[in-house]
Structure 1
């Protein structure tokens, strides 16, 4: 059956089939109920389901590990996925299958970001045990809903649009909660072994359950009453026939059978009694077969009678070879220079740190004019501010810093003398090779047209000289325009189509990104503009799609690393939702009243 499913999904490459087989076998051994639910999908969609669910399950396993730092392992896996998505392939089998799936079906990474962030907090134990049902439901939503949305997106791209009725939002939430509560109850023993209580503490207090009794696996009358109540609650949330009666026939069979399988898990937990605190509860093979046998027969018949209207699958158009990993420079780089006042960076939690900060350095000219100085002096002072900010970024451990030095509009509309002076200051900084003494990787984004050829050569020389650095990546956007960047990507795609390099008929988000001039640059987490203006000025439109926005009044020459650290600290207090609705509206402090939101 595996081979037939791969053939239906047009997966023929042996290495890629092996990657999907890894996902298939992993799920079959660790997530039997979820695996058999996926087997109710049309054969052409099953491999994609294996890849998605295997990725979510593996991330959960990494976060739950008691060996080593689970949060660090999860963060490394997540960063590796970002890299693999840009290149279109991976050396890790689960990620290779996932990348292929996401390229084929144009799935968004934002859903993974929500789940991975929640799991990372769990692994760090920075997220307190859910005190209330509302807090518990937030964790349920962040864990389960992204996977469901990915599956709905895949069905929509396959030609079957399943509308989510606004009148049933509460019912959808209860279903998600029912799945999460079933997982929490049937895996209670494993969670307790790690010292975790995944049940709302308000329910523990309501039934008089002592947390110590649970953590020590003691089956008291209070614990028994609590478990019985929660089992009945989960059954009620899973038993909502109105949810599948309004669905198209195929998805209705999948959802109904899935809920039946989960109710079988609840029955196994009820039968386990005190043993529920000792080991995970799962239905017997016979019980599972009584459900999946008729379910598979009914699903096959239903999909045959009501096929997907337009099933479209294709392998990724191109799968570039992964570049050799960057290694540290053989010469030991110097540490960043400390601030003149000796201030040290704040200790931000790792999970709250931005990976990529982009800055629009505005206000140089106004700073000089306010002091009765030539505008050129403002650019020179701004250059000094940039040097201090770069040292501050390296000092706090920021992976990526991108700065807007000169836009294509600046080059066309500013007086030539001012442009010459600005380029002179930039040339002096590059020729000094100052940044080469530190663990800073220099990159350039922009067009060579209109720039002096020797200056372009200098940019490229610095870029080549630092390409093996593994610390801060400093990207200079110089003669850069965001729309121009997107136009370049579209032109590159059109050229590839004309020359026959593209396979398939659809352009996915990941494919388009791979044709951007700096497609491997990670998304911007924080976009900061100084100088009092509140616009993004054609700066990194692709990479800032979900960026947090920060606008401050201070002019750029007055900025130093302390302002960068303050901006990063404000970012660490944001709750990034990637389009999801907040559990409750956060209070915005007065000093952050001018901050943008991520939506």
Structure 2
């Protein structure tokens, strides 16, 4: 009788590490039988509904797997509620809303009678996760239940970002808490965005038959238009030459987007292995989509088990080695639940407060709606000269300028401004002294840590280049942007390491890339095509550009958006300004006639644009 060959023993430290990790994983599921049952249910849901996601979770450290199961099971439950067949869309949306609302209440209470939500509550508390950025994704799922249509790739991409990115960010948070951060290279951010686009496109192609059966067409009109008849054929479930050409085009596009070999260079080998394996699995899925032919319209294509094994077996070996060499942090017991109004990590985007009133009690002027700018951009000039005038080092002026920045945000909220963009640090400012540069960047980071606008209805965004900036600052800026993305009040865009010509150059490069990939026709390009490839396509044109500090130039600030902006220059240095100066600038804007090359409209009575009687006139700022 032949002796059965024995497997090659793993290194002792790997075996010991694996045993400890599994033990820690079991301990993290808790002694509460209901909690352990909840985590097991989440594992089963993930494995049954999303085998590829389950395989990728198995490449994570064992201590993180229960949390990953819980978060992904929540995604699956919401998707199932939104896609329940034989149910009216309004009823499906109501079910999603009820489940989401119950989760918010459970997070506050620290427990739940629903097993999946109980696991999510435990995960959020134990790992100190901030789940507030999932509000937008959950709201999007509710909208999905009512049906979706996308006119172009830009709208489709915006939906993808709302739908997918927040859940991926939770995995990044988990890795950071465990001490193995998934550090994203600052010069590869465009690659990450393309990768996420490709992931979502592959998911749509895979689920095409299911979506069509439910009457959903999630492909953008811009993708369908070059293939006449394809949309009608898809709607009727017919495989035609137009449909075949469309699918071939989209699979090729998805393959280009997920093939980003430089994306994981320099990354910790554990997270890098997860991303590289995800790309390999998606390329397998694309192979299955291409091979499916007409059956793509009747059932989701799946790669063979043998193909999956060829990818996953070496990935698991790499994962075991990578995590065996990485000391991980295991969290202690879950802390008590926090109240809705407490600033703890489990709070949500609720209970937003109004801005604090001006110390003198002044109120904003009454501005007629047709005289109110939509977008005000400010060059905050004069910080250094303000400090020098007072015998202080120049960098002290930047710290003093933060009070004026707060005032502008408060004033913008009070008067109802929709967009405020602030020029904080330009690409040319690197020529300044090291101490001044350091102070500016430290001040920005301190503001992010303190969060003066955390409880205000302010959506915060950052525009600029990531290179040269400290990595932790870039990640903090992007986290704050993600956290506030669902707010609907003032949109505050802070320009850091920003240059207008650089923005136009990068947009042109993105447009050239889109043309090369067949997304746009270079012979039919218009201004709208260019605008769609700007960093923020939804940013409106600047109505009013205001510069302080007694200088009268625009300094490479928003050249595309400010082409028709009204210019407003004031002599006072930035730290001497407060919200009354913003209101005064807006009042002055309301008195101007904006022609845009047309015949001027009659100017309304100036009585409508005077400050309200309770607002004392702002004294003129002295020239410095």
Q: TM-score range by the shorter chain?
A: 0.5 to 0.7
Match of 1:195 among 205, 215, 218: 215
For 1:312, the equivalent position in structure 2 comes to 330
**Does 1:152 pair with 2:106?**
no
User: d(CA) in 1 for partners of 2:221 and 2:173?
Assistant: 35
Paired residue total: 372
Q: TM-score, structure 1 length as denominator?
A: 0.56
User: d(CA) in 2 for partners of 1:543 and 1:65?
Assistant: 42
Match of 1:33 among 47, 52, 76: 52
User: d(CA) in 1 for partners of 2:256 and 2:177?
Assistant: 32
User: d(CA) in 2 for partners of 1:71 and 1:577?
Assistant: 31
Sort the Cα spacing of 1:572 and 1:249 in 2 relative to 1 into closer, same or farther, 3 A: closer
Q: Is the 8 A contact 1:10 1:315 kept in 2?
A: no
User: d(CA) in 1 for partners of 2:137 and 2:321?
Assistant: 34
**Does 1:57 pair with 2:57?**
no
User: d(CA) in 2 for partners of 1:45 and 1:578?
Assistant: 35
Match of 1:584 among 535, 538, 545: 538
Sort the Cα spacing of 1:545 and 1:355 in 2 relative to 1 into closer, same or farther, 3 A: closer
Displacement after TM superposition at 1:207 (Å): 2.1
User: d(CA) in 2 for partners of 1:151 and 1:43?
Assistant: 13
**Does 1:109 pair with 2:109?**
no
Displacement after TM superposition at 1:252 (Å): 1.3
Displacement after TM superposition at 1:294 (Å): 2.2
Sort the Cα spacing of 1:589 and 1:272 in 2 relative to 1 into closer, same or farther, 3 A: same
User: d(CA) in 2 for partners of 1:191 and 1:531?
Assistant: 41
Q: Is the 8 A contact 1:362 1:530 kept in 2?
A: no
For 2:301, the equivalent position in structure 1 comes to 281
Q: Is the 8 A contact 2:82 2:141 kept in 1?
A: yes
User: d(CA) in 2 for partners of 1:366 and 1:172?
Assistant: 47
| Superposed counterparts of 1:369-384, under 5 Å | none
User: d(CA) in 2 for partners of 1:299 and 1:3?
Assistant: 14
Sort the Cα spacing of 1:572 and 1:301 in 2 relative to 1 into closer, same or farther, 3 A: closer
Displacement after TM superposition at 1:122 (Å): 2.2
Structure 2, unpaired ranges of 5+: 1-18, 340-348, 363-411, 418-449, 460-485, 495-534, 545-581, 584-624
Displacement after TM superposition at 1:293 (Å): 2.2
Q: TM-score, structure 2 length as denominator?
A: 0.53
Q: Deviations over 1:126-166 (max 9, x none)?
A: x5x22211111111111221112111111111112333222
For 1:234, the equivalent position in structure 2 comes to 254
For 1:597, the equivalent position in structure 2 comes to none
User: d(CA) in 2 for partners of 1:160 and 1:54?
Assistant: 23
Q: Is the 8 A contact 1:131 1:201 kept in 2?
A: yes
User: d(CA) in 2 for partners of 1:179 and 1:88?
Assistant: 34
**Does 1:15 pair with 2:55?**
no
Q: Determine helix, strand or coil for the equivalent of 2:181.
A: coil
Structure 1, unpaired ranges of 5+: 322-353, 368-526, 533-540, 551-570, 595-599
**Does 1:293 pair with 2:313?**
yes
For 1:424, the equivalent position in structure 2 comes to none
Q: What value does the CA root-mean-square deviation take over the aligned residues?
A: 3.8
| Superposed counterparts of 1:31-430, under 5 Å | 31-66=50-85, 67-68=87-88, 69-125=91-147, 127=148, 129-304=149-324, 306-307=325-326, 309-318=327-336, 358=353
Displacement after TM superposition at 1:359 (Å): 5.7
